[in-house]
Structure 1
Amino acid sequence: MDTASFGGFLRTLLIIVLAYYAFRFVMRYLFPVLIYRVAKKANENFQQKQQNHYNQQSEPTHTEPTSEFINPDKPREKKKVGEYIEFEELD
Protein backbone atom coordinates (compact mmCIF):
# COMPACT_ATOMS: atom_id res chain seq x y z
CA MET A 1 0.00 0.00 0.00
CA ASP A 2 1.29 3.44 -0.93
CA THR A 3 1.26 6.19 1.63
CA ALA A 4 0.86 9.87 0.87
CA SER A 5 3.99 11.91 1.16
CA PHE A 6 4.30 15.41 2.48
CA GLY A 7 5.80 16.56 -0.85
CA GLY A 8 2.81 15.22 -2.77
CA PHE A 9 0.47 17.04 -0.40
CA LEU A 10 2.33 20.33 -0.89
CA ARG A 11 2.33 19.86 -4.67
CA THR A 12 -1.43 19.24 -4.70
CA LEU A 13 -2.05 22.22 -2.44
CA LEU A 14 0.13 24.43 -4.67
CA ILE A 15 -1.79 23.31 -7.79
CA ILE A 16 -5.13 24.10 -6.13
CA VAL A 17 -3.96 27.56 -5.01
CA LEU A 18 -2.50 28.38 -8.43
CA ALA A 19 -5.67 27.21 -10.16
CA TYR A 20 -7.75 29.38 -7.83
CA TYR A 21 -5.70 32.51 -8.49
CA ALA A 22 -5.56 31.80 -12.24
CA PHE A 23 -9.36 31.46 -12.27
CA ARG A 24 -9.75 34.75 -10.37
CA PHE A 25 -7.33 36.52 -12.72
CA VAL A 26 -9.04 35.24 -15.85
CA MET A 27 -12.54 36.03 -14.55
CA ARG A 28 -11.52 39.53 -13.52
CA TYR A 29 -10.75 40.39 -17.15
CA LEU A 30 -12.84 37.88 -19.11
CA PHE A 31 -16.15 38.10 -17.24
CA PRO A 32 -16.79 41.82 -18.01
CA VAL A 33 -16.11 41.18 -21.71
CA LEU A 34 -18.58 38.28 -21.72
CA ILE A 35 -21.22 40.37 -19.94
CA TYR A 36 -20.67 43.22 -22.41
CA ARG A 37 -21.16 40.89 -25.38
CA VAL A 38 -24.31 39.36 -23.91
CA ALA A 39 -25.78 42.80 -23.17
CA LYS A 40 -24.88 44.06 -26.64
CA LYS A 41 -26.52 41.03 -28.28
CA ALA A 42 -29.65 41.44 -26.14
CA ASN A 43 -29.82 45.13 -27.06
CA GLU A 44 -29.51 44.31 -30.78
CA ASN A 45 -32.28 41.69 -30.51
CA PHE A 46 -34.50 44.17 -28.66
CA GLN A 47 -33.97 46.88 -31.25
CA GLN A 48 -34.63 44.41 -34.08
CA LYS A 49 -37.89 43.28 -32.46
CA GLN A 50 -38.93 46.91 -31.93
CA GLN A 51 -38.19 47.68 -35.57
CA ASN A 52 -40.16 44.63 -36.72
CA HIS A 53 -43.05 45.61 -34.46
CA TYR A 54 -43.02 49.16 -35.83
CA ASN A 55 -42.99 47.87 -39.42
CA GLN A 56 -45.92 45.54 -38.73
CA GLN A 57 -47.95 48.36 -37.19
CA SER A 58 -47.42 50.64 -40.17
CA GLU A 59 -48.87 48.05 -42.57
CA PRO A 60 -52.68 47.90 -42.47
CA THR A 61 -53.98 44.45 -41.68
CA HIS A 62 -57.67 43.60 -41.61
CA THR A 63 -57.53 39.95 -40.69
CA GLU A 64 -59.40 40.19 -37.38
CA PRO A 65 -62.05 42.70 -36.30
CA THR A 66 -61.08 45.09 -33.56
CA SER A 67 -63.25 46.51 -30.82
CA GLU A 68 -64.14 49.44 -33.11
CA PHE A 69 -66.12 47.15 -35.41
CA ILE A 70 -68.01 45.16 -32.76
CA ASN A 71 -71.64 46.20 -32.34
CA PRO A 72 -71.95 47.63 -28.80
CA ASP A 73 -75.76 47.15 -28.77
CA LYS A 74 -75.49 43.38 -29.11
CA PRO A 75 -74.51 41.85 -25.75
CA ARG A 76 -71.91 39.14 -25.77
CA GLU A 77 -73.07 35.65 -25.00
CA LYS A 78 -71.71 34.36 -21.72
CA LYS A 79 -70.30 30.88 -21.52
CA LYS A 80 -72.68 28.34 -20.08
CA VAL A 81 -70.71 26.38 -17.54
CA GLY A 82 -73.41 24.01 -16.39
CA GLU A 83 -76.86 23.62 -14.93
CA TYR A 84 -77.74 25.35 -11.67
CA ILE A 85 -79.07 22.95 -9.03
CA GLU A 86 -80.76 24.24 -5.90
CA PHE A 87 -80.28 22.06 -2.83
CA GLU A 88 -82.53 21.96 0.21
CA GLU A 89 -81.30 21.16 3.69
CA LEU A 90 -83.03 18.29 5.48
CA ASP A 91 -83.51 18.27 9.25
Structure 2
Amino acid sequence: MEMASFAGFIKTLVYIILFYYLFKFLARIFAPILMQKAMSKVQQKMQEQAQQQQQNYTNQQSQQQTQRAEMPREKKKVGEYVDYEEVE
Protein backbone atom coordinates (compact mmCIF):
# COMPACT_ATOMS: atom_id res chain seq x y z
CA MET A 1 0.00 0.00 0.00
CA GLU A 2 1.33 3.40 -1.00
CA MET A 3 1.25 6.40 1.26
CA ALA A 4 0.41 9.82 -0.10
CA SER A 5 3.33 12.18 0.02
CA PHE A 6 3.26 15.65 1.46
CA ALA A 7 4.50 17.08 -1.85
CA GLY A 8 1.61 15.44 -3.72
CA PHE A 9 -0.86 16.91 -1.24
CA ILE A 10 0.59 20.42 -1.68
CA LYS A 11 0.57 19.99 -5.47
CA THR A 12 -3.10 19.00 -5.40
CA LEU A 13 -3.95 21.89 -3.10
CA VAL A 14 -2.19 24.36 -5.45
CA TYR A 15 -4.14 22.95 -8.42
CA ILE A 16 -7.43 23.38 -6.58
CA ILE A 17 -6.60 26.98 -5.63
CA LEU A 18 -5.46 27.80 -9.18
CA PHE A 19 -8.62 26.27 -10.64
CA TYR A 20 -10.76 28.30 -8.20
CA TYR A 21 -9.12 31.62 -9.13
CA LEU A 22 -9.15 30.79 -12.84
CA PHE A 23 -12.86 29.97 -12.65
CA LYS A 24 -13.52 33.17 -10.71
CA PHE A 25 -11.61 35.24 -13.31
CA LEU A 26 -13.39 33.65 -16.27
CA ALA A 27 -16.76 34.04 -14.57
CA ARG A 28 -16.18 37.78 -14.22
CA ILE A 29 -15.43 38.01 -17.92
CA PHE A 30 -18.14 35.76 -19.34
CA ALA A 31 -21.00 36.09 -16.83
CA PRO A 32 -22.17 39.54 -18.05
CA ILE A 33 -22.13 38.35 -21.65
CA LEU A 34 -24.13 35.22 -20.83
CA MET A 35 -26.61 37.19 -18.71
CA GLN A 36 -27.11 39.71 -21.50
CA LYS A 37 -27.86 36.96 -24.00
CA ALA A 38 -30.26 35.26 -21.59
CA MET A 39 -32.09 38.53 -20.92
CA SER A 40 -32.43 39.27 -24.63
CA LYS A 41 -33.94 35.81 -25.19
CA VAL A 42 -36.42 36.34 -22.36
CA GLN A 43 -37.31 39.78 -23.69
CA GLN A 44 -37.85 38.38 -27.18
CA LYS A 45 -40.13 35.64 -25.87
CA MET A 46 -42.15 38.17 -23.89
CA GLN A 47 -42.57 40.35 -26.99
CA GLU A 48 -43.72 37.34 -29.03
CA GLN A 49 -46.25 36.41 -26.35
CA ALA A 50 -47.56 39.98 -26.18
CA GLN A 51 -47.96 40.09 -29.97
CA GLN A 52 -49.74 36.75 -29.94
CA GLN A 53 -52.11 37.90 -27.20
CA GLN A 54 -52.81 41.13 -29.09
CA GLN A 55 -53.60 39.16 -32.26
CA ASN A 56 -55.90 36.83 -30.33
CA TYR A 57 -57.69 39.80 -28.78
CA THR A 58 -58.20 41.55 -32.13
CA ASN A 59 -59.42 38.28 -33.69
CA GLN A 60 -61.92 37.83 -30.87
CA GLN A 61 -63.14 41.41 -31.24
CA SER A 62 -63.63 41.03 -34.99
CA GLN A 63 -65.43 37.70 -34.52
CA GLN A 64 -67.76 39.24 -31.95
CA GLN A 65 -68.52 42.15 -34.26
CA THR A 66 -69.33 39.84 -37.17
CA GLN A 67 -71.54 37.71 -34.94
CA ARG A 68 -73.40 40.80 -33.74
CA ALA A 69 -73.84 42.02 -37.30
CA GLU A 70 -75.24 38.65 -38.44
CA MET A 71 -77.76 38.32 -35.62
CA PRO A 72 -81.07 40.12 -36.26
CA ARG A 73 -81.95 42.53 -33.52
CA GLU A 74 -85.02 41.74 -31.53
CA LYS A 75 -87.59 44.42 -31.13
CA LYS A 76 -88.01 45.64 -27.64
CA LYS A 77 -91.01 43.86 -26.16
CA VAL A 78 -93.05 45.92 -23.82
CA GLY A 79 -95.27 43.94 -21.51
CA GLU A 80 -98.58 44.81 -19.99
CA TYR A 81 -98.54 47.22 -17.06
CA VAL A 82 -100.00 45.74 -13.89
CA ASP A 83 -100.91 47.98 -10.99
CA TYR A 84 -100.60 46.24 -7.65
CA GLU A 85 -102.55 47.36 -4.64
CA GLU A 86 -101.47 46.87 -1.08
CA VAL A 87 -103.55 44.45 0.93
CA GLU A 88 -104.02 45.15 4.64
- TM-score normalised to the size of structure 1? 0.62
Q: In the alignment, what sits opposite 2:51?
A: 51
Instruction: Flag structure 2 segments of 5+ consecutive residues without an equivalent.
Output: 65-88
> How many pairs were matched up?
62
1:21 aligned onto 2:21 = yes
Q: In the alignment, what sits opposite 1:5?
A: 5
Amino acid paired to 1:58: T
- Other structure's SS at 1:4 match: coil
1:61 aligned onto 2:76 = no
> How far 1:29 moved relative to its partner?
1.1
Paired-residue identity, %: 32
Q: In the alignment, what sits opposite 1:65?
A: none
Instruction: Flag structure 1 segments of 5+ consecutive residues without an equivalent.
Output: 63-91
Runs of 4 or more off by more than 6 Å in structure 1?
none
Distance 1:61 1:5 in 2: 81
Distance 1:2 1:61 in 2: 82
- TM-score normalised to the size of structure 2? 0.64
Distance 1:39 1:46 in 2: 10
- Other structure's SS at 1:61 match: helix
Distance 1:54 1:41 in 2: 20
Amino acid paired to 1:36: Q
> How far 1:61 moved relative to its partner?
3.1
